[in-house]
Structure 1
Amino acid sequence: MGKRTQAQRDAMTVEIGYALVTAAFLAAGLFALCAAPVLLLDLAGGTARGVLAVAATAAGLGFVTRVVRVLWRFGNGARAVRPDAPSPPGGSGPR
């Protein structure tokens, strides 16, 4: 693995930031969606704690899954395009 250019390092930094920000929004949405029954149904006690635990677990799993997926796709797409690769529809691909 050779030295990376400044542009490659900058692209990775931006991609990591994108992965973390979108994962945070996804986690917040999942938590709100899963925890909504506590507020809407006025749950209390052990039931409320159980629902909130499930909501926190779903949010954590969603966060980790999103970060891994974004960075995995970036890592696979960052490799050089083969010169013999077909152009995408519309003809705007590499020649």
Structure 2
Amino acid sequence: MGHSGGQRTQSERDAITVEIGYALASAVFAAAVLFGVLAGPALLFQLPTTVEEVLLVAGTGLAAVLFLLRVISVLMRFRQGPQPSQPGRTSPDS
């Protein structure tokens, strides 16, 4: 947000709360999908123990990394400021 100091308005606090909620919810969803894709076969099928362990560890680790990256990217994009009022339109001099 473009607020440099002082008290935030209620609408700014609400926007931050909504953005944090969106960041967490979308990160949980993305991480769950990735975990399901990687570790799902290990949970559904009878695979060799080593393969199951590798899939579970890889799924858990990569899901955690994706979760963090998604939260950071959403919050950093929010921090950059407001989006243009007319998405997809550029100024005449660009």
| 1:43 equivalent in structure 2 | 47
Higher RCO (CA < 8 A, seq sep 6+) = 2
CA distance in 1, matches of 2:36, 2:53: 14
Q: What's the TM-score once normalised by structure 1's chain length?
A: 0.76
Match for residue 34 of structure 2 among 21, 30, 37: 30
| 2:19 equivalent in structure 1 | 15
Which deviates the most, 41-50 or 17-26?
41-50
| 1:52 equivalent in structure 2 | 56
| 1:84 equivalent in structure 2 | none
CA distance in 1, matches of 2:38, 2:64: 12
Aligned length: 85
Per-residue deviation, 1:77: 1.8
Q: CA RMSD in A?
A: 2.5
Q: What's the TM-score once normalised by structure 2's chain length?
A: 0.77
| 1:72 equivalent in structure 2 | 76
Per-residue deviation, 1:50: 1.6
Runs of 4+ in 1 over 6 A off after TM superposition: none
